[in-house]
Amino acid sequence: MNILVTGGAGYIGSHTCVALLEAGHTVIVADNLCNSRVEVVDKIKQLTKKEVIFYQIDVTDIAAVSTIFSNHSIDGVIHFAGLKAVGESVEKPLAYYYNNLVSTMILAEACQNYGVRRFVLSSSATVYGDNTVPFVETMNLLPTTNPYGETKAMSERILNDIAKANPAFSVSLLRYFNPVGAHESGLIGEVPNGIPNNLMPYVTQVAKRKLEKLRIFGNEYPTVDGTGVRDYIHVMDLAEGHVAALDNLTEGVHIYNLGSGNGTSVIELVKAFEEANGIEIPYEIVERRPGDIASCYADASKADRELGWSAKRDVISMCRDSWRFENNKE
Ligand code: NAD
Ligand code: UFG
């Protein structure tokens, strides 16, 4: 199939392009490079030895999006393009609502105009709010604590309503848990802007001695050791989950958790990193981070049952691959 991958130069998008190309699909990337670099597209070509069609456009630009749909016979869209920094979304809510919602609506409209029936959305476990773990797709969603999370919940609702009105439209809403790791080659991975907010990139920079020590946000949560528990998923498993979602997409709206189904605490992750890479990670316990929940992990059985997909790579490989990329990146 010819797949339009918005945000394909970004972290999850680039790994998904590799998985799509390896599965025999043709990939057309649309990215404005606001949080990525064009060199990533070359790395995808280098890794797969396949062509990638690249458009440097903003997917909120309806004319630019229409040009892609008229130049190519698109079979499906995977919509990764979006702003994703939770803290920044509180400071710049309009930028987040505009970018993440307008892009979804413009792409959905282009799909309607050009008869494209397959649409896959990057959603997030954040839409579950502070539900009881494990999170199951059938749960009622609880309010999120920030505009970023709201854009994901709203994008899901918009696509639900469009699909209700257009029964031939096939939508997959993929709720990611905590993507970490990098392609096993070390050629592509996550490149956070400035000081990382997320745990794994922070840990790799402490390991690299670019940052002095990890600050663990709270150790009195009701969890195994008091630190926050998350469901870390290797980005290549996540990428393969998209291929499975696309290959199995049928009419209507389908929601899938893409997680490993296992909870790992902050301290467990630090220990796994130390074990995997033989490097000590100094840390201190500090105040809780506002908006954090104690535990977030998936019931990942629906994707296994319906898509035949489950996460294969363990936390040790996530730590090893994250570290390899940290050492390789320019
Ligand atoms: P990323 O920032 O690495 O990738 C997003 C890409 O989209 C970037 O290359 C950026 O340049 C591009 N982009 C942003 N706005 C655009 C626009 N208007 N037009 C064209 N390109 C645009 O982020 P990521 O981690 O790869 O996340 C991909 C998607 O997955 C996002 O929608 C994000 O919200 C969602 N998600 C991410 C996580 C996570 O922890 N990384 C968790 C849940 C959901
Ligand atoms: N943590 C620390 N110190 C740090 C960074 C994180 O102790 O320097 C802790 C957090 O308190 C949390 C855990 O490590 O317990 C994971 O934190 P991350 O920031 O890596 O990830 P979150 O679970 O907070 O958020 C991620 C994405 C969001 C997404 C959410 C739910 O960043 O975009 O998962 O899917 F909404």
Question: And the tokens for 196?
Answer: 């990382």
**pLDDT at position 55:** 98
Nearest protein CA to atom 9 of ligand 1, as residue: 10
Contacts of 37 (CB under 8 A, 6+ apart): 9, 191
Q: Ligand nearest 179 Cα, by number? A: 1
**pLDDT at position 157:** 98
**pLDDT at position 329:** 86
Instruction: Classify burial at 74, counting beta carbons within 10 Å of its beta carbon; exposed 0-12, middle 13-18, buried 19 or more.
Output: buried
**pLDDT at position 187:** 97
What domains appear along the chain, each with residue ranges and CATH number?
2-181+232-259 (3.40.50.720)
Residue of 34, 55, 199, 258 best suited for mutating to test ligand 1, as the one with most atoms within 8 Å of CB: 34
Residues 162-201 have pLDDT tens digits of 999 999 999 999 999 999 999 999 999 999 989 999 999 9
Ligand 2 midpoint to CA 22 (Å): 31
Q: Is the CB of 9 under 6 A from ligand 1?
A: yes
Residue ranges of the chain with pLDDT lower than 50?
none
**pLDDT at position 282:** 98
d(CA 260, CA 262): 5
Please give the positions annotated as active site. Answer: 148
**pLDDT at position 193:** 86
